[in-house]
Amino acid sequence: MPKKKRVLTGITTTGSPHIGNLAGAILPAIKASKKKSTDSFLFLADYHSLIKNKDPELTSASSFEIAACWLACGLDPKEVIFYRQSDIPHIMELAWVLSCLTSKGLMNRAHAYKAAVSENKTKSNKDLERGITMGLYNYPVLMSADILIFNADVVPVGLDQKQHVEMTRDIASRFNHHYGEIFKIPEVSIEDEAGVLPGIDGRKMSKSYNNVIPIFLNKDDLRKKIMKIKTDSKTPGEPKETENSSIFSIYRAFAPEDQTRKFQDLYKEGISWGEAKELLFELLKNQIQPFRQEYKELIKDKSALEKILLLGAEKALDISTPIINKVRKAVGIRAFGD
């Protein structure tokens, strides 16, 4: 039997996820993880989160909440290797080894670093490196270690992360060239941007725009949020356009196709915005409330969740251990006489 492809992706553990994340990332990743033809690795990038989070309570709470969220939304830890980055110390070890081969010039070109420098420029800061930590600067090296420690074949990410996977390929080739073929050169797989949802103000749904619909709202708050979605000024009875309608885009992301078609017909027939919002509320309530119920159950028992993650870590360590051993040996970190 051919070896199964290893598909690996990381989840940043900052902030609470919204329905845009749910439709664009969480549900598609869970669906992909059920494929029998691949081995799926999904992890909480908690050490990455230290770049943004300096509050220990928040760091720990976010990791817990995001783990509970993915499980509540249907991730099955039996089908996926689901673990915390911090439970796999080999990742940090490999990050150091890789950083000793990675040229500084490569990191100078990383988008996140360049964006931070250019923000200092815009603010006319004399020190262009102001506020930039080594964590932010080295971010792509840590991400390379996340990927290479399991010899992943495919890395599904959003477009903003493509450069990091390209850097990983670069770093892996350099290592293989110098020390011998140890790492697979991973392929990037870019997630469908069509999954990006508009927020309640019509711009892309994003925490930084403060326009999100959180996943785990209670019914009343969910309804209130939906009623705030911006629309044009067409009156009831006037035909409405589905294009550029946030209500429609969100509806389509969660409804089966035939139901979306019916909703589209209602637009043509001149459904009022109020009614359209009610229908969206009904849909989201039905789709999301089961997740919310499950989430409420999961967060009651922290030790059960801890156990799930430790089991995941055990499976992950089975794979990372022989690889880090090869790396240590290859670079010359070994017992005297070996």
Instruction: List interacting residues with ligand TRP (CB under 6 A).
Output: 8-10, 12, 45, 48, 143, 146-147, 155, 157, 161
Q: What is the secondary structure of 87-129 as a DSSP string? A: G-HHHHHHHHHHHTTS-HHHHHT-HHHHHHHHHHHHTT-S-TT
Residue tagged 């209500």 (tokens): 247
As a whole number of angstroms, the distance between CA 225 and CA 281 comes to: 9
Between residues 205 and 247, which has the closer beta carbon with respect to ligand TRP? 205
CB of 14 to ligand TRP, least distance (A): 9
H helix or E strand, kind and range, residue 80:
strand 80-84
CB of 6 to ligand TRP, least distance (A): 12
Between residues 155 and 316, which has the closer beta carbon with respect to ligand TRP? 155
CB of 275 to ligand TRP, least distance (A): 37
Sheet holding 187-190, edge to edge: 80-84, 38-45, 5-12, 154-157, 187-190
CB of 260 to ligand TRP, least distance (A): 28
Distance of CA 112 to the CA centre of its chain: 16
CB of 170 to ligand TRP, least distance (A): 15
CB of 237 to ligand TRP, least distance (A): 44
CB of 223 to ligand TRP, least distance (A): 31
Between residues 54 and 121, which has the closer beta carbon with respect to ligand TRP? 54
Query: DSSP label at 15?
Result: S
Question: Exposed e or buried b for every residue in 71-108, given b needs 16+ CB within 10 A?
Answer: bbbebebeebbbbbbbbbebbebbbebbbeebeeeebe
CB of 167 to ligand TRP, least distance (A): 11
Between residues 191 and 223, which has the closer beta carbon with respect to ligand TRP? 191
Between residues 68 and 88, which has the closer beta carbon with respect to ligand TRP? 88
Between residues 8 and 72, which has the closer beta carbon with respect to ligand TRP? 8
Between residues 48 and 169, which has the closer beta carbon with respect to ligand TRP? 48
Residue tagged 């150091």 (tokens): 96
User: Hey, how many other C-beta atoms are within 10 angstroms of the C-beta on 121?
Assistant: 9
Between residues 167 and 229, which has the closer beta carbon with respect to ligand TRP? 167
Query: DSSP label at 182?
Result: -
As a whole number of angstroms, the distance between CA 157 and CA 154 comes to: 10
Residue closest to ligand TRP when measured from CB atoms: 10
Between residues 155 and 217, which has the closer beta carbon with respect to ligand TRP? 155
CB 44 within 8 A of CB 57: no
CB of 171 to ligand TRP, least distance (A): 13
H helix or E strand, kind and range, residue 313:
helix 302-331
CB 190 within 8 A of CB 157: yes
